[in-house]
């Protein structure tokens, strides 16, 4: 039986995975023989955006403040 987790806890687990996943991608881009280092700032920016979106989805009280940024 798969235990159902709360929205907040699920969001926290996913958010925690964003950092290592982003680090992996940044590392791969840095080493890429096709010279894709220029993508790193964009990837970091998008990852931060993803964290904000995830927070908005997981913690409903924060949503109005986060959506106002956009």
Q: Which residues bind other proteins (CB under 8 A)?
A: 1-3, 5, 9-11, 13-18, 20-22, 24-25, 28-29, 36, 39, 42-43, 46, 49-50, 53
Residues 28, 21 contacting (CB under 8 angstroms): no
Query: Is-contact 11 57, C-beta < 8 A?
Result: yes
Smallest distance from other proteins to CB 28, Å: 7
Please identify, using beta-carbon distances, which residue of 13 and 65 lies nearer to other proteins.
Answer: 13
Q: How far is the CB of 67 from other proteins (least distance, A)?
A: 13
Q: Which residues, 6 or more positions from 47, have their beta carbon under 8 angstroms from its beta carbon?
A: 18, 19, 21, 22
């Amino acid at each position: 039986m798969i235990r159902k987790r709360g929205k907040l806890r699920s969001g926290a687990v996913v958010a925690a995975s964003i950092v290592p996943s982003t680090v992996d991608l940044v590392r791969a881009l840095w080493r890429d023989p096709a010279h894709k280092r220029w993508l790193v700032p964009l990837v970091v920016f998008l990852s931060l955006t993803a964290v904000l979106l995830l927070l908005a989805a997981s913690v409903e009280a924060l949503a109005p403040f986060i959506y106002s940024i956009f």
